[in-house]
Amino acid sequence: MDFRLSEEQDKFRQEVRDFLEGEIKQGLWEPSCDAWIMGHNPEFTKRVSQKDWIGLTWPKEYGGQGRSYVDRLILTEEMLRYGAPAACHWFADRQIGGAVVHYGTDQQKKELLPMILKGEAYVGLGMSEPDAGSDLASLKTKATEDGDDFIIDGQKTWTSGGGNMNWIYLVARTDPDAVKHKGISEFFFKTDLPGVSVTPIEDITGGVHFNEVFFENVRIPKTSLIGERNRGFYQILNQLDYERSGMERLMANYPLFEAVIKYSKETKQNGKPLAEDPLVRAKLAQLKIEFEIGRLHMYRIAMVMDEGRAPNWESSMSKVYGTAFEQHLAGAAIEILGLYGQLSPESKRVPMRGMAYHSYLSSKGYSLQAGSSEVLKNILALRKLELPNQ
Amino acid sequence: MNLALSEEQEMLKTMARDVLADKLPKTAVKEIEESEEGYSAELWKEMAGLGWMGLAFPEKYGGSGMSFLDLAMLLEEMGRACLPGPYFSTVVLSGFTILDIGTDGQKDEYLPKISSGEAIFTLALTEPSASYKESGIGTKAAAEGDSYVISGTKLFVPDANVADYILVAARTDKGITLFIVDAKSPGISTTVLKTIANDKLCEVVFDKVKVPKDNVLGEPDQGWPEVEKIIQRAAVGKCCEMTGCIQQALDMTVEYAKDRKQYGRPIGSFQVIQHYCADMATDVDGTRLSAYQAAWMVSVGLPCTQEVAIAKAWAGEACQRVMALAHQIHGAIGVTIDHDLQYYTRRAKAAEVSFGDASFHREVVAREMGL
Ligand SMILES: Cc1cc2nc3c(=O)[nH]c(=O)nc-3n(C[C@H](O)[C@H](O)[C@H](O)COP(=O)(O)OP(=O)(O)OC[C@H]3O[C@@H](n4cnc5c(N)ncnc54)[C@H](O)[C@@H]3O)c2cc1C
Ligand SMILES: Cc1cc2nc3c(=O)[nH]c(=O)nc-3n(C[C@H](O)[C@H](O)[C@H](O)COP(=O)(O)OP(=O)(O)OC[C@H]3O[C@@H](n4cnc5c(N)ncnc54)[C@H](O)[C@@H]3O)c2cc1C
């Protein structure tokens, strides 16, 4: 056992920090909560790509760096710490590249991976539908074979970054007669096609980040099929393990944590810094404790992945834990700000750029996206603890 | 970074689990708890024979030269088995302290006795103030010729009823000083308290107890930072025991939930029970990860004030959540005295308040955060 990172890893962390601090100093962007999923900044993504920080864990033969998942965790940890606007490449880097490496044909690897590495694939994840949320396998969007093509018809919803995407990773039904898990396939294709339309959905913060995506007679070539036809559901289960495993499940609103600590030290109430109030101290210390426990969960997962295992129950456990922490942080931050906590980012006198307000509202979705906490606890109970189904 | 146990650690852990499962069924725990001594001399000898007392002490003191982290594996299994007795007092509280700050002479004299199982040690730190702060120590030690004379009352001293030696933290001229006191010295009187964990916490009254100056442990007046280290090490040790305690409570509960049928199906098939178990497992893993991290840091000698405080604050509250759910799932059978669960419930509560509860350690974390 050794909880230390290697010297190279410490150096790597420093390199990422120097890069991000440099960007902030130049005024290229401001740290913000949820920037990994809401901060669309193609120039930033280009610069990250130029650092070779996309595809860090992919094999070298595919243009990746062949580095460990712990290295990647360090990178994402710092991106989240600084609230960097990484949304353009986040999904592609986190799960799409891996899926192509895993399930793609040689031709697909040759075409798709370089584009992802260059930070040019702004991917939307087309899984959920109005009637298929947790129960993804009940999805209705159809992909019908037609000569050398598939024709896509149906609707996806809650597609994060749908307004900015140029590619979509779509899960659709290819065999309407099979039992529902067994007739699903995965596709990856460009979205600038006739018949694709995107309608934004205003979220609870008043922002626009997820969307409805409609497919009407959309013709895609058969080469868009990723992996085995009708095995898509099983592929996606594996991909979801990775989707759930990331540091964003603990640090989506980390900039708020640093801001509220700073605020507590600097803001005086009754002539004394807030941080000297025993209740505020206890709240902040408890958050720190919960955060550090979560961090250990996250590093454990990276190590599971470095062993070559998909982090199945481990990422279920850590996602439930981490998103609960994020929600706790957001709530506690408003409590510490007191009356000021209710001020919106646009308001006069709002402290901390309104991060607490924003995060409190946006964090409600954390425990739903990529597997709700309830569904994840089911996984933990059935697969790890082997409790009976009935 | 590497979070896996070494092969030796795996072996040690399995061996400890097997030995304790064999030698220490709950009937034996009950018998020991009800005995006057609070430990089994026979088992004590066997443990010494297995090299457990000296596990982490150098070979020249009769030990095996393993690390604190290796010891953590044992402590976890002792927590799982609900081992009663003075192992923690002797090894974690006292042995390590002597190894850390004792003179060569003291180490030569006392450590082999610990390794061989010949002597039982304990630490008399807390007092009626029930505080782990320096200000909580009122017991005085006055220099008189070649000796100090100690007077005062220590409270919640574990295993003092059977100890051969007591490490005592007392107030001297300019600070706190630690002493190694022969438990048979005239002027010491010990009364066993009755506790929730059925362990032997004692009131120990020192009435003008004479201790030779040679028995000062560490520097006179400079003892408080050492005491803080003792508390830190003890807190980590407790976290390891607590990990074993709640892991076993979880295992028992999951087994029970698979077995127990109501409404014609195992209660473990009800989703609410599944989610309770998932919550318990998450708490157990967080406790273990943070306990191991802290134990590793103690082991390699890194500064770890924050990590220890995090581990103990977390463990204290996580144990309460786990035990509450364990009981809920066990139904009425779990609140009977003949069911094994109660051993864990009682110990988990005592462990929560020992060596700093969550509030105590949150304040440490707050200071480390610069608040
Ligand atoms: C911010 C945000 C971003 C998102 N981004 C995307 C995206 O980019 N692409 C995409 O495809 N989807 C996305 N989603 C959708 C997300 O995947 C779904 O919200 C999620 O799968 C849950 O589905 P649902 O919202 O329909 O809720 P439902 O499935 O209807 O669930 C409602 C409630 O019932 C519970 N429930 C459901 N089934 C069970 C069960 N078996 N046992 C116990 N409880 C159960 C749930 O836990 C939840 O509490 C996003 C969602 C959010 C909030
Ligand atoms: C202090 C005490 C005094 C008592 N006094 C009396 C008395 O005077 N007379 C008397 O007749 N009884 C008495 N009881 C028994 C009491 O009524 C039972 O304990 C209670 O009915 C639960 O049954 P059980 O203990 O067998 O647990 P079980 O029914 O086995 O339940 C175990 C766990 O499974 C859960 N569970 C069971 N079914 C479901 C379900 N469908 N969905 C979700 N979860 C489920 C339970 O909530 C519980 O968490 C007493 C119990 C206690 C603890």
CATH of the domain at A325: 1.20.140.10
> Are B352 and B281 contained in the same domain?
yes
Q: Domain for residue B255, yes or no?
A: yes
Q: Mark the ranges of chain B whose per-residue pLDDT is less than 50.
A: none
Domain total of chain A? 3
The Cα B114–Cα B53 span in angstroms is 6
Q: Which residues face B205 on adjacent strands?
A: B153, B189
CA nearest neighbour of B344 among B20, B15, B14, B26? B26
Phi, psi (5° rounding) for residue A130? -55, -35
Partner residue facing B371 (CB), from A264, A289, A382: A264
Q: How far is the CA of A211 from the centre of ligand 1 (A)?
A: 14
Q: Domain for residue B63, yes or no?
A: yes
**What is the pLDDT, as a whole number, of residue B216?**
98
Residue A248 identity: E
Q: Of the residues B254, B273, B276, which should be mutated to test ligand 2's pocket, given the most ligand atoms within 8 Å of the CB?
A: B273
The Cα A70–Cα B249 span in angstroms is 32
Q: Domain for residue B1, yes or no?
A: no
> Are B237 and B364 contained in the same domain?
yes
> Are A80 and A154 contained in the same domain?
no
The tokens for B94 are 């006292």
Tens of pLDDT along A325-372?
999 999 999 999 999 999 999 999 999 999 999 999 999 999 999 999
**What is the pLDDT, as a whole number, of residue B13?**
98
Q: Domain for residue A41, yes or no?
A: yes
Q: Domain for residue A237, yes or no?
A: no
Residue where one domain finishes, among candidates B67, B97, B119: B119
> Are B131 and B239 contained in the same domain?
no
Radius of gyration of chain B (CA): 21
Atom 52, ligand 2: which residue's CA is nearest?
A: B332
ipTM above 0.95, yes or no: yes
Q: Domain for residue A235, yes or no?
A: no
Region A74-95 average pLDDT? 97
> Are A295 and A361 contained in the same domain?
yes
Closest residue on chain B to A276 (Cα):
B371
Residue A382 identity: L
Q: Domain for residue A390, yes or no?
A: no
> Are A15 and A87 contained in the same domain?
yes
> Are A262 and A364 contained in the same domain?
yes
Interchain CB contacts (distance < 8 Å): A and B = 135
The Cα A75–Cα A16 span in angstroms is 7
**Does B240 reach chain A within 8 Å, measured CB to CB?**
no
> Are B113 and B204 contained in the same domain?
no
Region A305-330 average pLDDT? 95
**What is the pLDDT, as a whole number, of residue A238?**
86
Ligand nearest to the Cα of B266, by number: 2
> Are B240 and B211 contained in the same domain?
no
**What's the CATH code of the domain at A29?**
1.10.540.10
Residue where one domain finishes, among candidates B185, B201, B221: B221
> Are A324 and A204 contained in the same domain?
no
Sign of CA dihedral B328, B330, B336, B339: negative
Whose structure tokens read 């005024």? A27
> Are A270 and A376 contained in the same domain?
yes
Q: Which domain holds residue A81?
A: 7-103+111-118
Q: Domain for residue B104, yes or no?
A: yes
**What is the pLDDT, as a whole number, of residue A320?**
98
The Cα B63–Cα A255 span in angstroms is 49
Q: Domain for residue B2, yes or no?
A: no
- Do B174 and B210 contact (CB within 8 A), yes or no? no
> Are A257 and A159 contained in the same domain?
no
> Are A165 and A59 contained in the same domain?
no
Residue where one domain finishes, among candidates A230, A265, A297: A230
Task: Reduce the DSSP state of residue A53 to 3 states and report it.
Answer: coil
> Are A176 and A263 contained in the same domain?
no
Residue where one domain finishes, among candidates A65, A91, A118: A118
> Are B89 and B211 contained in the same domain?
no
- Do B71 and B79 contact (CB within 8 A), yes or no? no
> Are B261 and B356 contained in the same domain?
yes
CA nearest neighbour of B188 among B202, B208, B168, B169? B208
Question: Which residue blocks in A216-270 are alpha helix, DSSP H?
Answer: 232-244, 248-251, 254-266
Q: Which domain holds residue B107?
A: 7-119
> Are B128 and B190 contained in the same domain?
yes
Q: Domain for residue B305, yes or no?
A: yes
> Are A251 and A308 contained in the same domain?
yes
Q: Considering chain A, what percentage of its residues have pLDDT values greater than 90?
A: 97
Report pTM.
Answer: 0.97
> Are A157 and A257 contained in the same domain?
no
**What's the CATH code of the domain at A156?**
2.40.110.10
- Chain B residues near residue A6 by CB distance under 8 angstroms: 1
- Do B196 and B243 contact (CB within 8 A), yes or no? no
> Are B198 and B135 contained in the same domain?
yes
Residue where one domain finishes, among candidates B166, B195, B221: B221
Q: Domain for residue A210, yes or no?
A: yes
**What is the pLDDT, as a whole number, of residue B165?**
98
Phi, psi (5° rounding) for residue A377? -65, -35
pLDDT at A50 over 90: yes
**What is the pLDDT, as a whole number, of residue A390?**
85
Partner residue facing A387 (CB), from B1, B277, B307: B277
> Are B126 and B41 contained in the same domain?
no
CA distances from A325 to A48, A295, A314, A360, A366 (A): 28, 11, 16, 12, 10
Residue A222 identity: K
- Do B186 and B243 contact (CB within 8 A), yes or no? no
State the best of A293, A305, A380 to mutate against chain B, taking most chain B CBs within 10 Å: A293
Phi, psi (5° rounding) for residue B232? -60, -50
**What's the CATH code of the domain at B60?**
1.10.540.10
Closest residue on chain A to B294 (Cα):
A3
Partner residue facing A317 (CB), from B285, B296, B369: B285
Domain total of chain B? 3
CA nearest neighbour of A122 among A197, A194, A63, A41? A41
- Chain B residues near residue A284 by CB distance under 8 angstroms: 366, 369, 371
pLDDT at A239 over 90: no
Question: For the range A19-26, what are the long-range contacts, defined as Cβ-Cβ under 8 Å and sequence gap of 24 or more?
Answer: A19/A51, A20/A78, A20/A79, A20/A82, A20/A84, A21/A82, A23/A47, A23/A84, A24/A82
Q: Domain for residue A2, yes or no?
A: no
> Are A128 and A83 contained in the same domain?
no
> Are B140 and B77 contained in the same domain?
no
Strands (E), A270-341: 272-273
The tokens for B40 are 């089994």
- Do B136 and B104 contact (CB within 8 A), yes or no? no
**Does B213 reach chain A within 8 Å, measured CB to CB?**
no
CA distances from B13 to B42, B70, B303 (A): 21, 9, 26
> Are B197 and B238 contained in the same domain?
no
Residue where one domain finishes, among candidates A230, A255, A288: A230
Show Cβ contacts of residue B248 under 8 Å, excluding neighbours closer than 6 positions.
Answer: B79, B80, B81, B344
Q: Considering chain A, what percentage of its residues have pLDDT values greater than 70?
A: 100
Sign of CA dihedral A360, A363, A364, A365: positive
**What's the CATH code of the domain at B254?**
1.20.140.10
Q: How far is the CA of A373 from the centre of ligand 1 (A)?
A: 9
